[in-house]
């Protein structure tokens, strides 16, 4: 991996997942064939009109079929990329494809299974192993995790998941996400933890994880900074940034009656993805001068990865089954275009925003500070030793001790010892003063106070330098240095294995490239090789060639047709969206025209401006316009009032609450109650006769003894009788279903009356009975009202 400045193309690989259970159960045809050796994918048309229709063939840098292992992909395709990131290049991996084709599987894979781990966890292992084997280098690794959903950026590692971040641009460092949190990680375990936290946050924010993940883009960013002393004896820092992008599903989003929020989805949902497509088209189409990076958040953020300073790998994921054929073809065409993007990767050396540099400088500063502290201490002691000869005896004693100590300076590691000794000494002195009876009480107090103060000073100083050294330690621990277990035997073996794997991968790649070249040349040189012995032979060979070319022409023609079809579909889609938006706009205009005074509208229009940065309309703050007297001056107000008030109005205001004379709050806030439309409730008047009858009836009820058994049997009896009678009277009915008349609930046939039958007493209600009796069968009754 050299420090190349030359252009290199985006590497595109295709991966086809195996048939899943459902597809196998439904017996779907496999329409995709993968030629791993040649790096070709062929897709057959499942509804091909002619059986001889040629499959569509696409050639890529490499292709992986359903048997491919995660580790194969990593070693062949991703490892070289991560290696170059470790060298200081930028690298990006995109996973593109329809939902359910294995994008997340490729990027993340199955977390707890080393065999099925995806690129992200594999790269963790790779990076930290590399660092542990490095020598004379210092590394700083940090990770960020973000998501773009409906053109809003969410930091998946921040505590506040409701916050949306903004994109900013700086001339020196380019586009970045403002306030995006990043975590310095010291080991595989730590960075895995970061990933897990992000994944959890990703699912927390969404009600339907499947839908959410298929509509959002997740970007895991690893920044690796490495500092090394160069040949010029200067310390140089290289920064490599690895973007691992799990894109939203590429399928057409089903639009479901766009309204409100839905509309927002329908129009914004794949803005980033379609913008990505437009950027790719613009990049590969030599004529366009404008690359629409600014059209979406994703393309802006990953601008460097598309035609800029980065190495880029795109993994196109496809499914093998026939019902996905259209999406599969779209994906293949899309990624086929991406092959032609040219990047200009270079090593990022000594960038201004290297965190590692900041760390190193901070550590140096703290160390100097610590040094100064201990230096000052020494100086202080020396001064004391020189100048205070006439001090009292107790002090003299200590000075000697001090001197002894200074003769052999305290080694850095023994700092704690030093502090302990100092403290003990002060303690001892304090005790000596306490026990010294020769001193006057006042002196004693003074000396004691002094010692106390010294002890305090000492303690404070100790705390400060402890804080400093712990800070240094914490910062230093974040900087990783390798070479610790370089002699480790397993490490060596692993290294050899990895090297071999790398060689094999390289070999395979070369083989594939050669095959592709041979294939290509075959056609071109076919002609040159031939020398024709006879005219007939020439005709034969040329016919053969013609046939071949004709087939090719047909393939290209059908491809053109397909692309036209898909363009038409796309255009219809866009037109539909446009119609929806126009309708929405009309509604908004209607609302505006009806509810917003023209004057206000024009005021707002004058103040509004479009902020390209945030992609939204904003209002300028209201400013006083020069020379506009209306804005400049306010009418002189009466004291305490907002408006000038006449005496009359003031008086009137005090007298009665007339709206007309109110200076402030001219609205009456009490509710206007509507006029009444009902009368007061009046009790009904009951004639004495009726009252007596009622009372009689109620008394009766209390006295009635009910025997439920008797009652039901009796009523059933009545029911049977009548039922039979009924079927007899309407002969045809009885004939059709003999049981209907006597049915005990099973039949759904209605009795003649047209009322539904219920329960056991089905046949009781008939037209032969009085209305009161009918009522009693249909509705639950109180026990008291037994038919008489
Ligand atoms: P996407 O992220 O593209 O929507 P996923 O990665 O979630 O798709 O994959 C859908 C399903 O297919 C998952 O259950 C995954 O395990 C399975 N799958 C995808 N690719 C492969 C593969 N190469 N080998 C085995 N299983 C796969
Ligand atoms: Mg996914």
Position 535 scores a pLDDT of 82
Choosing from 14, 18, 21, 105 the residue with most ligand 1 atoms within 8 A of its CB, the one to mutate for a pocket test is 105
**In this structure, what token pair is assigned to residue 593?**
């025209």
Choosing from 100, 112, 115, 247 the residue with most ligand 1 atoms within 8 A of its CB, the one to mutate for a pocket test is 100
Instruction: Identify the nearest ligand to the CA of 106 by its number.
Output: 1
The b-or-e profile of 638-657 (16+ CB within 10 A means b, else e) is eeeeeeebeeebeebbeeee
Q: Which of 332, 237, 308 is nearest to 12 (CA)?
A: 332
| pLDDT above 90 (res 122) | yes
Say if residues 328 and 318 touch (Cβ distance below 8 Å).
yes
Choosing from 13, 14, 16, 17 the residue with most ligand 1 atoms within 8 A of its CB, the one to mutate for a pocket test is 17
For residue 85, how far is its CA from the centre of ligand 1 (angstroms)?
27
Q: Compute the distance between CA of residue 97 and CA of residue 280 in angstroms, rounded to an integer.
A: 15
**Cα-to-chain-centroid distance, residue 81:** 24
The answer to whether 100 is annotated as binding is yes
Ligand 1 atom closest to 106 (CA)? 6
For residue 317, how far is its CA from the centre of ligand 1 (angstroms)?
9
- Which residue has the least CA distance to atom 18 on ligand 1? 102
Q: Which of 136, 138, 143 is nearest to 121 (CA)?
A: 143
| First CA to last CA distance, the chain | 107
Instruction: Identify the nearest ligand to the CA of 217 by its number.
Output: 2
Which strand (E) or helix (H) includes residue 471? Answer: helix 441-478
Residues framing ligand 1 (Cβ under 6 A)? 17-18, 20, 97, 99-105, 214, 249, 317
The answer to whether 745 is annotated as binding is no
Q: Compute the distance between CA of residue 241 and CA of residue 246 in angstroms, rounded to an integer.
A: 16
Ligand 1 atom closest to 95 (CA)? 3
Q: Compute the distance between CA of residue 242 and CA of residue 132 in angstroms, rounded to an integer.
A: 19
| pLDDT above 80 (res 374) | no
The answer to whether 97 is annotated as binding is yes
| pLDDT above 50 (res 410) | no
**In this structure, what token pair is assigned to residue 329?**
């073809």
pLDDT, tens digit (0-9, with 9 covering 90-100), for 547-605: 988 988 988 888 888 889 888 988 888 898 899 899 999 999 999 999 989 888 888 88
| pLDDT above 90 (res 12) | yes
> Which pTM does this prediction carry?
0.66
Q: Average of pLDDT values for 244-273? A: 65
For residue 195, how far is its CA from the centre of ligand 1 (angstroms)?
19
**Cα-to-chain-centroid distance, residue 744:** 63
Q: Average of pLDDT values for 23-41? A: 90
Q: Compute the distance between CA of residue 74 and CA of residue 93 in angstroms, rounded to an integer.
A: 11
For residue 316, how far is its CA from the centre of ligand 1 (angstroms)?
13
Instruction: Identify the nearest ligand to the CA of 250 by its number.
Output: 1
Q: Compute the distance between CA of residue 380 and CA of residue 400 in angstroms, rounded to an integer.
A: 15
- Which residue has the least CA distance to atom 12 on ligand 1? 102
Q: What contacts 170, CB < 8 A, 6 or more positions away?
A: 176
Q: Compute the distance between CA of residue 787 and CA of residue 774 in angstroms, rounded to an integer.
A: 11
- Which residue has the least CA distance to atom 11 on ligand 1? 100
Position 626 scores a pLDDT of 54
Ligand 1 atom closest to 68 (CA)? 23
Confidence of residue 185 (pLDDT cuts 50, 70, 90): very high
pLDDT, tens digit (0-9, with 9 covering 90-100), for 70-108: 998 998 899 999 999 999 999 999 999 998 999 999 999
- Which residue has the least CA distance to atom 24 on ligand 1? 17
């Amino acid at each position: 991996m050299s420090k190349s400045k030359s252009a290199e193309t985006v590497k595109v690989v295709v991966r086809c997942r195996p048939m899943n259970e459902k597809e196998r159960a439904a017996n779907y045809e496999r329409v995709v064939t993968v030629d791993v050796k040649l790096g070709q994918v062929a897709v057959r048309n499942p509804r091909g009109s002619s059986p001889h229709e040629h499959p569509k063939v696409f050639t890529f840098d490499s292709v992986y079929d359903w048997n491919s292992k995660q580790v194969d992909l990593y070693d062949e395709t991703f490892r070289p990329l991560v290696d170059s990131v470790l060298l200081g290049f930028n690298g990006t991996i995109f996973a593109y494809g329809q939902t359910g084709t294995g994008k997340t599987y490729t990027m993340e894979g199955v977390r707890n299974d080393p065999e099925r781990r995806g690129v992200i966890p594999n790269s963790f292992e790779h990076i930290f192993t590399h660092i542990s084997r490095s020598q004379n280098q210092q590394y700083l690794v940090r990770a960020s995790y973000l998501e773009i959903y409906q053109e809003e950026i969410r930091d998946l590692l921040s505590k506040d998941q409701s916050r949306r971040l903004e994109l900013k641009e700086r001339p020196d460092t380019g586009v970045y996400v403002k306030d995006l949190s990043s975590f310095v990680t010291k080991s595989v375990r730590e960075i895995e933890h970061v990933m897990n936290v992000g994944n959890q946050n990703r699912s927390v924010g969404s009600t339907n994880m499947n839908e959410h993940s298929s509509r959002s883009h997740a970007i895991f960013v690893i920044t690796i900074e490495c500092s090394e002393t160069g040949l010029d004896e200067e310390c140089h820092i290289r920064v490599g940034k690895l973007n691992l992008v799990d894109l939203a599903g590429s399928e057409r989003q089903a639009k479901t009656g766009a309204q409100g929020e839905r509309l927002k989805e329908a129009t914004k949902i794949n803005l980033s993805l379609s913008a990505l497509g437009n950027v790719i088209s613009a990049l590969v189409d030599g004529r366009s001068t404008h690359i629409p990076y600014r059209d979406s958040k994703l393309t802006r953020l990953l601008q460097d990865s598309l035609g800029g300073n980065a190495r880029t790998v795109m993994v196109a994921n496809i499914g093998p089954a026939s019902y996905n054929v259209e999406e599969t073809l779209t994906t293949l065409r899309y990624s086929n275009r991406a092959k032609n993007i040219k990047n200009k990767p270079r090593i990022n050396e000594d960038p201004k925003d290297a965190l590692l540099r900041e760390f190193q400088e901070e550590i140096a500063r703290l160390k100097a500070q610590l040094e100064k502290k201990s230096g000052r201490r020494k100086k202080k002691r020396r001064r004391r030793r020189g100048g205070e000869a006439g001090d009292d005896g107790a002090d003299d004693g200590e000075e000697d001790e001090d001197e002894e100590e200074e003769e052999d300076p305290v080694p850095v590691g023994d700092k704690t010892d030093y502090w302990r000794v100092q403290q003990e000494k002060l303690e001892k002195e304090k005790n000596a003063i306490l026990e010294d009876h020769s001193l006057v009480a006042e002196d004693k107090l003074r000396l004691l106070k002094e010692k106390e103060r010294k002890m305090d000073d000492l303690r404070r100083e100790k705390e400060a330098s402890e804080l400093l050294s712990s800070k240094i330690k914490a910062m230093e621990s974040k900087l990783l240095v390798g070479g610790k277990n370089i002699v480790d035997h397993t490490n060596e073996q692993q290294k050899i294995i990895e090297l071999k794997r790398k060689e094999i991968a390289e070999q395979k790649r070369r083989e594939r490239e050669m095959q592709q070249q041979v294939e290509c040349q075959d056609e071109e040189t076919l002609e040159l090789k031939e020398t024709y012995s006879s005219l007939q032979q020439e005709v034969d060979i040329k016919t053969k060639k013609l046939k071949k070319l004709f087939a090719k022409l047909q393939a290209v023609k059908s491809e053109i047709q397909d692309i036209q079809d898909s363009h038409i579909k796309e255009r219809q889609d866009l037109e539909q969206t446009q119609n929806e938006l126009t309708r929405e706009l009309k509604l908004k205009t209607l609302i505006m025209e009806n509810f917003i005074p023209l004057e206000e509208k024009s005021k707002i229009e004058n103040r509004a401006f479009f902020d390209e940065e945030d992609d939204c309309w904003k209002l300028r703050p209201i400013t006083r316009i020069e020379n506009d007297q209306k804005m400049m001056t306010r009418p002189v107000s009466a004291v305490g009032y907002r408006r000038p008030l006449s005496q009359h109005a003031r008086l009137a205001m005090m007298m009665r609450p007339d709206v007309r004379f109110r200076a402030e709050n001219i609205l009456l806030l009490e509710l206007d109650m509507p006029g009444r439309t009902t009368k007061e409730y009046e009790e009904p008047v009951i004639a004495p006769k009726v009252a007596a009858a009622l009372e009689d009836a109620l008394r009766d009820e209390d006295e009635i003894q009910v025997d439920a058994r008797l009652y039901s049997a009796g009523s059933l009896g009545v029911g049977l009788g009548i039922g039979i009678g009924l079927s007899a009277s309407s002969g045809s009915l009885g004939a059709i279903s003999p049981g209907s008349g006597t049915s005990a609930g099973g039949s759904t046939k209605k009795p003649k009356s047209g009322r539904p039958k219920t329960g056991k007493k089905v046949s009781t209600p008939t037209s032969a009975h009085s209305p009161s009796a009918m009522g009693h069968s249909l509705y639950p009754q109180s026990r008291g009202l037994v038919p008489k």
